A and B are shown apart, each in its own frame.
Chain A
């Protein structure tokens, strides 16, 4: 199972774009990259998932370089409500034990 490494914490001002990078050097060929957001005392919420290149949805973009050994979650113009912990996961929960790391605690400052 691919291990992931993320920054423990990040601070950003409201309205700025935030990029959170995750390293996953031993990602397997069939692994997908998934990002979740979690608020205190709530279950994680799916943000975005990708396999390669760039994926964009209504809340975020996910950039994956050709070697897939890292990925970057991009949150455009963050607001105070984006203050949360963000987890990067690598694998496929259907066939592997999915392990969450410690995540990145994002603090958005007014």
Chain B
């Protein structure tokens, strides 16, 4: 069973450009969350998708947008890239069903460098 996969692994973009990152959730998971992790910091929540809709959003500008497809995979889009967007972008998937809390499974991340 493949866990959470993300692509690409690394990416270098120029300031002002746009980027799309992709995530495939763990089998059986239908909720996908995206996080941004700057060097030396903990992951910061960007948004969460469930049933192809954005369900929750963190304190990120509208330049950050996303999408979830019927097969539960997801994309993160960032427009008008800034140098400060350089970070490790993490995707996490989780199941919605069941009682009690649950664990999120994280992908390996995409390292984005903006020059």
Interface residues of A (CB under 8 A from B): 32, 34, 36, 41-46, 49, 51, 87, 92-94, 96-103
Contacts and interface: CB of A to CB of B under 8 A. Distances in A.
Interface residues of B, number: 30
Given A41-B109, A43-B92, A102 B100 contact: no
Interface of B: 4, 31, 33, 35, 41-45, 48, 56-58, 88, 90-92, 94, 96, 100-109, 111
A93 B33 contact: yes
A44 B56 contact: no
B33 to A, nearest CB: 7
A51 B100 CA distance: 9
Contact of A43 (B56, B90, B101): B90
B45 A34 contact: no
A49 B109 CA distance: 23
A44, A92, A94, most chain B CB atoms within 10 A: A94
A88 B61 CA distance: 26
